[in-house]
Amino acid sequence: MADRNASAPPPALGRRCKRSVTERFYKERMPLVRLRLVHAADSDRPRTRGECVDGARPCPWVGCRQHLYLDVTRAGNLQLNFPDLEPDEMGESCALDLADRGENSLEDIGAAMGVTRERARQIETQALTSLALDGAARLLRGDR
């Protein structure tokens, strides 16, 4: 008889994002997320990159658009990029900190965002295309 573990699937290579709309999520995790989002509304919250560049890391402002802990989908659902971590346990928490470091490999960016190298490349391509289209539209309008 074959070993039971021989047919087991190989372990996952990385964490996957978790789109959470279930009732369990709202009972277990939403109070923590709400607390952090309410905390982010405080008057202490930085308004510019210059105000937050020397701030606490990992960044406590989960509601910030550049924070890597969660995303809001177009449908309005919360997507936890690191479901097995709390925001204060993250190594890298701000996309702008990654950008300030200069050139990074797709592997580094993918690990920080919780996606694969290929998905990081696809996001990069989409962003560059969007920037090129925006620049072309400005030229057509005559904006500088």
The domain containing residue 122 runs over which residues? 103-144
Of 71, 31, 63, 65, the C-alpha closest to 44 is 63
* Cβ proximity of 80 and 70 under 8 Å: yes
Examine the domain organization and report whether 89 and 107 are in the same domain: no
Instruction: Give the pLDDT confidence of 76-86 residue by residue, as tens digits.
Output: 888 888 888 88
Residue with tokens 């919250």: 45
Distance CA 120, CA 93 (A): 16
Examine the domain organization and report whether 72 and 25 are in the same domain: yes
6: pLDDT strictly greater than 50: no
9: pLDDT strictly greater than 50: no
Whether 135 is in a domain gets the answer yes
**pTM value > 0.75:** no
Whether 98 is in a domain gets the answer no
Domain count along the chain: 2
Whether 86 is in a domain gets the answer yes
Whether 60 is in a domain gets the answer yes
